Structure formats: structure tokens, C-alpha cells
């Protein structure tokens, strides 16, 4: 019973931390509403993608990737190739060295621009933090 309580408390803590991070990021994005597209480029740099919806309306998308997530614990795992039970002695002796398996985390952030002014935003991913 105590283990379930501790697990529930831990999960609640993780969700709360994740929500706080997302809320802070959403507050940051909210502050861009009404600002100019030019200012966005000055601060965020060149976008990963631009899609024109109409001649006066477009969606500008930024993609942030990282090997160390802010919302997800980073685990550096090792794996070996050619070391299965059915592999030959040759494969076991000359298997490639251990390679790091990198975990990637991301955040896609899109701004909707109309007549040069930011009117809305959207984001998703596991690394959307300020």
C-alpha cells in the first residue's frame, strides 16, 4: 500500500513539473502575440519552415532538438552489435565496440503571422521549455 502511495506521489510530482515547464513556455509564447514578424526573426533566428496559407498569412515553424531533455530524464544507454546467442565465434570476437545510443528530445513551435504580425502560436514536443 505504501509503495502505491509513493508511486502515485512521484507521478503527481512528475506531471506537475512537466505542467509548470509547459506553462512557462506557453507564457513565453503568449508574450509574442501582437509583436512583429521582424522582431521574431531577430530573437529566434531563421525558422526551420515557412508555409504560406494565403498571401498575407503564413505559419513559421522552429524546431529545437537536444540530446538532454528538460522534461524527460536523460539516459545514456550502451548497446552491442553481433553479441546475440546465435552469433558465431567470429562475430563475438570481432563485434564492433559499444556505441552510445543517443536519446533525442524536441520542441516544434509554430507562429501564425498575418500581415507581418504574430496572431497565434502552437507547440508540441517533450522539450518545450523556456
Rounded alpha-carbon distances, angstroms, from residue 108 to 3, 95, 124: 37, 38, 5
What are the tens digits of pLDDT across the range 69-113?
Answer: 554 443 433 333 344 455 555 555 666 665 566 788 999 999 999
The residue with cell 496572431 is 119
pTM, rounded to two decimals? 0.61
pLDDT of residue 52: 97
pLDDT of residue 96: 62
Rounded alpha-carbon distances, angstroms, from residue 8 to 12, 13, 19, 98: 6, 9, 16, 36
The residue with cell 567470429 is 90
Range with lowest mean pLDDT among 31-45, 55-69, 82-96, 115-129: 82-96
In contact, 87 and 49? CB cutoff 8 Å? no
Amino acid at each position: 500500500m505504501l509503495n502505491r502511495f509513493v508511486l502515485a506521489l512521484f507521478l503527481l510530482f512528475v506531471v506537475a513539473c512537466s505542467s509548470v515547464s509547459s506553462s512557462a513556455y506557453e507564457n513565453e509564447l503568449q508574450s509574442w502575440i501582437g509583436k512583429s514578424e521582424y522582431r521574431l526573426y531577430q530573437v529566434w533566428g531563421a525558422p526551420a519552415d515557412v508555409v504560406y496559407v494565403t498571401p498575407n498569412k503564413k505559419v513559421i515553424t522552429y524546431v529545437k532538438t537536444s540530446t538532454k531533455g528538460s522534461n524527460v530524464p536523460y539516459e545514456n544507454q550502451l548497446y552491442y552489435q553481433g553479441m546475440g546467442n546465435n552469433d558465431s565465434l567470429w562475430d563475438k570476437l570481432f563485434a564492433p565496440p559499444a556505441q552510445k545510443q543517443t536519446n533525442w528530445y524536441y520542441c516544434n513551435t509554430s507562429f501564425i503571422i498575418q500581415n507581418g504580425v504574430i496572431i497565434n502560436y502552437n507547440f508540441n514536443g517533450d522539450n518545450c521549455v523556456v
